[in-house]
């Protein structure tokens, strides 16, 4: 297999409503796609980097730049030795930029699997044909607005609610949701690093709500701080931003900083590394679930395949297309009895809808 050209596409996909986290608010999903042209066919991937370097240091135009200037030329240098498995070793010299690396690896993997008639699910080792869906609920201006939103998602059939929290939007909203929807609701929170080591008493107050987990309460580099917090509170601590590789996952588990892991393939450099984290966690008895970066269908399809691996035992942020988009870039993923079907076709199993993609495209750049 050989990489002949890559089209980098910048899309602006409108969201149905603003999505606010402790890091900021987005109303448009601004994203870069990698469209790989190989001698055996084409492949697609959505790069998870946000418009701003707020979730991590990566952002979409930087991802496009590092892909164009370094990663795509490096993959082209592999000549006919190109495989998806060869991408990470070839890019190993370059520090960081894991979302950009993941996008290139995923696009090449999509081409490779389409050519061999293999689905992502089969390649990754999936054992399920559908996966339970949770939904991530942004920070709202008012409590009534939050209640109405949660009620709507429960009516849709979502099996688990994740509330975004930050200082000033934590105890009260969590209490209200727990009291209103009862003790059986699967409920968790995500702080996106909004707290510090000085906030442990505040976070301990959430123990009374029997949450499934608290996700990334403090700074991503502070793994020891998370271990200290995990000793201090009863709510299980789940790391997201901190876990950037299987090695970090192994260490974080060993020091007790995380008893559940949110796996996002983009954050860790791709699906191959994501499976390694799944395996490390499985051996350690640590459950995992699949996170999300507001992906359109192109990114969501591959995440659903990953979420079908055996140690993904908690509902993921793998929501239906309608959670975010009036119009998705692929055939929409729909919620049926709280679950979403894992794509079965070759590669990611879905195709971009040309006229929709054209409508949302801001710019394209060919790298040859
Ligand atoms: O795809 O539903 C989704 C988004 C889920 O909350 C979500 N993602 O930290 O887990 C997380 C956030 C990051 C979003 S950055 C805009
Ligand atoms: Mg998170």
222, 175 Cβ separation under 8 angstroms = no
Assigned token pair, 226: 């998370």
Query: Residue 224 phi/psi, 5° resolution?
Result: -60, -40
Region 314-322: what's the mean pLDDT?
A: 98
What letter does residue 327 receive in the DSSP assignment? Answer: S
What is the DSSP code string of 184-230? TSEEEEE-TT-B-GGGHHHHHGGGGG--S-EE--B-TT-HHHHHHHH
CATH of domain 122-341: 3.20.20.120
In this prediction, residue 168 carries a pLDDT of: 97
Q: Looking at domain 3-117+353-367, which CATH architecture does it have? A: 2-Layer Sandwich (3.30)
In this prediction, residue 346 carries a pLDDT of: 98
In this prediction, residue 272 carries a pLDDT of: 98
State in Å: Cα 293 to ligand 1 middle.
5
Residue 47 banded pLDDT, cuts 50, 70, 90? very high
Ligand 1 pocket residue status of 137, Cβ below 6 Å: no
State in Å: Cα 346 to ligand 1 middle.
27
Q: Is 231 helix (H, G, I), strand (E, B) or coil?
A: helix
Q: Which residues have C-beta under 5 Å from ligand 2, the single-atom ion?
A: 190, 215, 240
305, 275 Cβ separation under 8 angstroms = no
Q: Classify strands 339-341 and 134-137 as parallel, antiparallel or unpaired.
A: unpaired
Beta bridge partners of 26: 19
Residues 6+ apart with CB under 8 A from 267: 48, 56, 98, 99, 102, 240, 241, 243, 244, 291
In this prediction, residue 358 carries a pLDDT of: 98
Assigned token pair, 104: 């290139």
Residues 6+ apart with CB under 8 A from 148: none
State in Å: Cα 215 to ligand 1 middle.
11
Assigned token pair, 255: 């020091």
Region 285-297: what's the mean pLDDT?
A: 98
Boundaries of every domain in the chain: 3-117+353-367, 122-341
pTM > 0.95: yes or no: yes
In this prediction, residue 99 carries a pLDDT of: 98
């Amino acid at each position: 297999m050989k990489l002949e050209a890559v089209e980098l596409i910048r899309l602006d996909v409108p969201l149905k409503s603003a999505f606010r986290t402790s890091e900021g608010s987005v109303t448009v999903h601004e994203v870069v796609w990698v469209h790989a042209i190989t001698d055996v066919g084409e492949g697609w991937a959505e790069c998870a980097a946000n418009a701003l370097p707020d979730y991590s240091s990566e952002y979409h135009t930087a991802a496009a730049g590092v892909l164009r200037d370094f990663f795509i030329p490096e993959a082209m240098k592999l000549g006919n030795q190109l495989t998806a498995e060869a991408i990470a070793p070839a890019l190993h010299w370059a520090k960081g930029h894991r979302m950009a690396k993941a996008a290139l690896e995923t696009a090449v993997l999509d081409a490779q699997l389409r050519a061999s008639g293999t689905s992502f699910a089969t390649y990754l080792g999936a054992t399920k044909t559908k996966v339970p869906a949770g939904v991530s609920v942004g920070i709202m201006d008012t409590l009534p607005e939050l209640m109405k939103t949660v009620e709507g998602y429960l009516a849709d059939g979502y099996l688990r609610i994740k509330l975004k929290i930050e200082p000033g939007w934590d105890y009260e909203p969590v209490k209200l949701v727990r009291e209103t929807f009862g003790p059986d609701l699967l409920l968790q929170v995500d702080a996106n690093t909004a707290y510090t080591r000085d906030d442990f008493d505040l976070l301990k107050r959430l123990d009374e709500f029997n949450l499934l987990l608290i996700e990334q309460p403090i700074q991503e580099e502070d793994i020891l701080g998370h271990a200290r917090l995990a000793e201090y509170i009863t709510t299980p601590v789940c790391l997201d931003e901190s876990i950037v590789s299987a090695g970090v996952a192994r260490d974080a588990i060993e020091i007790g900083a995380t008893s559940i892991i949110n796996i996002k393939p983009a954050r860790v450099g791709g699906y191959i590394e994501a499976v390694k984290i799944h395996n490390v966690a499985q051996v350690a008895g640590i459950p995992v679930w699949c996170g999300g970066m507001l992906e359109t269908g192109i990114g969501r399809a591959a995440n659903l395949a990953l979420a079908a691996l055996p140690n993904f035992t908690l509902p993921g942020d793998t929501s239906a297309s309608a959670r975010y988009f009036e119009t998705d870039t692929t055939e929409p993923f729909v919620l049926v009895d709280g679950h979403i079907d894992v794509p079965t076709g070759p590669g990611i199993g879905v195709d971009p809808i040309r006229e929709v993609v054209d409508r949302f495209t801001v710019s394209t750049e060919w790298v040859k």
